[in-house]
Amino acid sequence: MAYKQYTSREQMERDGWKFSSGPELAPCRECSNPVEWAKSPKGKNIPMVPGSTQVHFDVCGEQPAPRPHGRAQAKH
């Protein structure tokens, strides 16, 4: 979406982004992937992909989380 792409969090912090010292990881309500909350230069809470510089909006809904069914069938 309309967020600038960064290559490091240092760059983001220079631009005014704030990351909570203790990362708050919580699953996204939409896609249930983990998100880390950051504050944008405008003071908005933005969900981030944990440990990365990518905003969660860019990946939200992609559902990379593999469902553990289908393949692994327990045999007796």
Q: Please give the residue ranges that form the binding site for Zn ion (CB under 5 A).
A: 28, 30-31, 60
CA distance 8 to 12: 7
Least CB distance from residue 38 to Zn ion, whole Å? 15
Instruction: Tally Cβ neighbours within 10 Å of residue 19.
Output: 15
Least CB distance from residue 16 to Zn ion, whole Å? 24
Nearer to Zn ion, 18 or 58 (CB): 58
Least CB distance from residue 1 to Zn ion, whole Å? 12
3-class DSSP assignment, residue 14 = helix
Which amino acid, one-letter code, is at 49? V
